[in-house]
Structure 1
Amino acid sequence: MSRLIVVSNRVSAPKDPAAGSAGGLAMALSAALRKYDGLWFGWSGETVEHFTGELNIEDRAGVTVATVDLEPQDVDEYYNGYANKTLWPLFHHRVDLTAYERSYGEGYERTNRRFAEVLRPLLQPDDVIWVHDYHMIPMARDLRRLGVKNRIGFFLHTPWPARQLLVTLPHHRRLVESMFHFDLLGFQTREWMELFQRYVEVEAKGVVGEGGRVDAFGRSVQVGVFPIGIDVESFLAARDSLLGQKTYDRIAASAAFRSMIVGVDRLDYSKGLEQRLLGYEQFLEDNPSMRGGVFLLQVTPISRDDVDTYQDIRGRLDALAGRINGAYADMDWQPIRYLNRTFRRDQLAGIYRAARVGLVTPLRDGMNLVAKEYVAAQNPDDPGVLILSRFAGAAEQMGEALLVNPFSREELSDAIRTALTMPLQERRRKWKALMQVVRDTDVSHWRDQFVETMISSSH
């Protein structure tokens, strides 16, 4: 049996597999690594004054983890720079926020080479390598230059941008060409895959063939759609745990017989948080009779706070939530509860279960697992309603949600009212269909489908 080598920017293998705060993706990849006797490689999150390539190897709950420290310049240019200020906004169609700095691109290339050079001695001839996300797009090319012949797959967790936007990136052709050193490219949705194929056809004069093969740059690569899911059984166990139940009871009691709308998103401009608050404000304006009977719990952990754009959006959200509360609150009711903190998975499951409406309205998202977690957390006898952005990857699978255009505050307002007034029979019907999707496309299905396809691919 081949070993599986997982490569990602940060290694998130949990030290305690029973930890309620461990993410579903980390749990699934850890399970795959135990199954295939594998290794998880990436950045330690730490810096050293001079890069040495020294490996830190440890065992985390049966998973071998190998990490390497980076220089501060690597972190500034590769991670904070090219990954988070260039590729992330560009892949989310925010060209206005994209930083096209030559030093960022150079740092990205240099750091990926360093990762490849450190990883190379760890590899065995029959290892299968699975590289994750936009941080490490050149990884296969750099490994091939070092003589690596192994099967290498790549999965993109974010959207892929439209061709007209990608060509604004200096050296965009070189970036895409490096992807043809992989054996398999995986995308969350058919839309993202087709945007990649369209770029190849137009910019590289490539050919999209039968069976998902794409030919360009003198090479051929297999492409496919592998929609990611959640660990359903683990999440249900978290929901039904003592802390999950206590959280539900606490939230339900604090709601004081009001209907709760919930949003859970890390702080990011791609999540449409400003548009969401404006849509909720429009709902309060449009439905004066429903004021006092509903509130929005918005959970928004802070992320990337050392990037100026994120500091700006944090200030705008604080001001917007404060303005709405100031305009509409009463002595015994506050329309928005806005929390900048992180909760454990079992706590989130309890929060989701207590919410009459799940508001998942990103402007653009690779998949969005909050949508699937919200559905999984519901009481089958009295389920809440999912409002989902049509621009989230999950919308391709979850058509029974109330699909909305998050840029339209009126559409958001109407959807909130529809969700809050939806009859029980209709809520049950929609939930049942959505839950079937969540079960059919869980994280284990995603993991096994990708790994099996990668193993059967040949370079």
Structure 2
Amino acid sequence: MNTNTTGATAESAAETVAQLCDDRELVVVSNREPYSHAREDGEVSVDRPAGGLTAALDPVMQTAEGTWVAWGDGDADREVVGPDDAVAVPPEDPAYDLRRVWLTDEQVEGYYRGYSNQVLWPLCHLDTAKLTPREDFWSAYRETNADFADAILDSTADADRDPVVWFQDYHLALAPRRVREARSDAFLAHFWHIPWPSWDVFRACPQYEHLLDGLLANDLVGFHTDAYCRNFLDCVDAATDARVDRSSRSVSYRGRRTFVRALPLGIDAGRQAALAESDAATEWWAQFRETHGIDASETVAVGVERLDYTKGIEPRLRALERFWAENPEWCGNFTYVQKGTESRSGIPAYDALQDRVAAEVERINDRFGTDDWTPVVYTTDHLPEEGIAALYREADLGLVTPVRDGMNLVAKEFVAAQTRDPGVLVLSELAGATGQLGDEAVVVHPHDAAGFADRIGDALSLSRAESRRRAADLQREVHAEDVYDWLESTFETAAAIERGRRSVRTAGPRATDD
């Protein structure tokens, strides 16, 4: 089954980007780089983007022929750059420059592992108890954001016109202000890939004024949902002297106007469906099933995520345990496959989570398992893309139940990979994706173990006709609002803002952005 809707493509998205940029250089700025270089057996190899945002942006950048600024963390990255710390990519047909920013061990510890992931991440995911607002973390975050901004300015120093700069995510909240101070006419946009919290939560961060000041240097700030936009405007209203216009969702601050928009991120749904239908996926699944003793007649549920406390793995395991306890007829007939990817090891909250998940899986398997059946098949092994797609394709249930998530693209990947006999998406009401997918998913509250267990039963009892109807509606949504639609929407919004600015300037000296 593969319900496709013709919409935006990489080519049409690139055309939209080109129309906005015209003769201005496009600069994408992210913590993660699209290509990295490593040394293997004495030779330098290239790690290419494989899915996700970097894979979607790469063909657009190849058309735009701009610059991508990112942290160079590959062990051979320095060997291949020129004097300007840049390398042309992709290697076989260079189309744009990858400008690398070098971080010291102290910066990695303070900016990335520290402030980004022990302050901003728990803050935005409403877990202030895990906040670790150390002064050295903040110092490293400021220093590294300045380094990113300087790399942007250096890479565009010779441009005839000020660039279009698009910042990605929470790692770079301060960089826009430094770029704005040097390039007043640059068009700056920022997409925040995680939730934005309410003011009562956001004020728990001692540097909230600095973060807002940095983000308000942008012309456009994008979030996944309307709720995050409202939260952001509430924070600006409470914490600054800016003028907030809620009707236009804009902020007038320090002589400029910032527009705030909901721009929900999608996936490359066509690519995900193709992976699911590949021979490699079919072969991988056959081997995986044999290795783990999953009988062809068994009902299978799957969860795929990083081992992060926001993903709801522990509450999900509690709900599954309750389901097996209350529905013993499913023991031996219903297997849950948990693919976990170790994340941010060395940070205490993450190390402790990894240990707890492994222990819970072992305990549940000891309680219910038999010589012929393992209730929870748990793996942290690296799986190929085709393997992940095969898990989605073969699953009767996709359990996507974070305790908080900005969007959650796994939910959309699961839907896109349902190319055969469709399964049912079981989705947390606390995921951003619920706004788009909740009507046809089985929605649960991750912390309500009893209700969660009951909803698993409801999902398993859906008729084939109802499952197919739901899957078809979900696929239409995921294919129509894919990552290329997101790119087009973002740059069409940016172009509209730019046209408005030009008309204001043309109208004369009395006109202002306010």
What TM-score range do you get, normalising by the shorter chain?
A: over 0.9
Give the aligned partner of residue 274 of structure 2.
237
* Paired residues for 1:89-238 under 5 Å: 89-123=122-156, 124=159, 125-204=161-240, 206-216=243-253, 218-238=255-275
2:283 counterpart residue number: 246
Q: 2:57 is matched with which residue: 29, 36, 39?
A: 29
Kindly indicate whether the alpha-carbon contact (under 8 Å) linking 1:14 and 1:22 is maintained by their aligned counterparts in 2. no
Report the Cα offset of residue 139 of structure 1: 1.3
Kindly state the Cα deviation for residue 268 of structure 1 after the two structures are TM-superposed. 0.4
Are 1:7 and 2:29 counterparts? Answer: yes
Deviation at 1:252, TM superposition (A): 5.6
1:40 aligns with 2:68: yes
- Structure 1 distance, partners of 2:48, 2:303, is 20
Q: Does 1:379 find its partner at 2:419?
A: yes
The one-letter amino acid of 2:276's match is R
Amino acid at match of 2:32: R
Match of residue 58 from structure 1: 88
Q: Deviations over 1:394-452 (max 9, x none)?
A: 00100211111101111221111111121111101111111111011100000121123
Give the distance between the partners of 2:232 and 2:193, measured in 1 at CA.
14
1:270 to 300, 310, 327: 310
Post-superposition offset of 1:46: 5.6
1:256-311, Cα deviation, whole Å (9 max, x unpaired): 11101000001100101111111111111111111110011000011111211111
Name the SS for the 1:238 alignment partner: helix
| Root mean square deviation of aligned Cα | 2.1
CA contact (8 A) 2:398 2:426 kept: yes
Unaligned runs of 5+ in 1: none
Question: Aligned in 2, Cα 1:97/1:398: closer, same or farther, shift over 3 Å?
Answer: same
Report the alpha carbon displacement of residue 126 of structure 1 after superposing the two structures with TM. 4.3
The question of 1:398 aligning with 2:428 is answered no
* Higher mean C-alpha displacement, 273-282 vs 232-241: 232-241
1:120/1:148 contact within 8 Å kept:
no
- What is the distance in 1 between the residues matched to 2:163 and 2:269? 29
- Post-superposition CA distance 1:34-61 (Å, at most 9, x none): 221122111102699xxxx961423225
Aligned partners of 2:49, 2:101: CA distance in 1, in Å? 24
For 1:339-378, what aligned pairs fall within 5 Å after superposition? 339-378=379-418
| Structure 1 Cα separation of the partners of residues 176 and 283 of structure 2 | 47
Take 2:74 and 2:282, find their aligned partners in 1: how far apart are those partners?
A: 37
SS in structure 2 of the partner of residue 367 of structure 1: coil
SS in 1 for 2:188: strand
1:392 counterpart letter in structure 2: A
| Counterpart-to-counterpart distance in 1, 2:280 and 2:489 | 33
Aligned-residue sequence identity (percent) comes to 33
Report the residue type matching 1:6 in the other structure. Answer: V
Contact kept? 1:130, 1:154, Cα under 8 Å: yes
Check the 8 A contact 1:247/1:351 in 2, yes or no: no
Deviates most, 370-379 or 6-15: 6-15
Shift of residue 183, structure 1, vs aligned partner:
0.6
Per the TM alignment, residue 248 of structure 1 is displaced from its structure 2 partner at its CA by 3.4
Query: Is the 1:159–1:366 contact (alpha carbons within 8 Å) kept by the matching residues of 2?
Result: yes
Offset from partner CA, 1:361-382 (integer Å, 9 cap, x none)? 00111111110111111135x2
CA contact (8 A) 2:36 2:73 kept: no
Output the amino acid matched with 1:361. Answer: T
Query: Scaled by the length of structure 1, what TM-score is found?
Result: 0.94
Q: Contact 2:299–2:396 (CA<8 Å) still a contact in 1? A: yes
Q: How far did 1:96 drift?
A: 0.6
CA contact (8 A) 2:68 2:97 kept: yes
SS at match of 1:379: coil
- 1: CA distance, partners of 2:202 / 2:456: 35
Q: TM (normalized to structure 2)? A: 0.84
Structure with higher Rg: it is 2
Residue-pair matches, total: 452
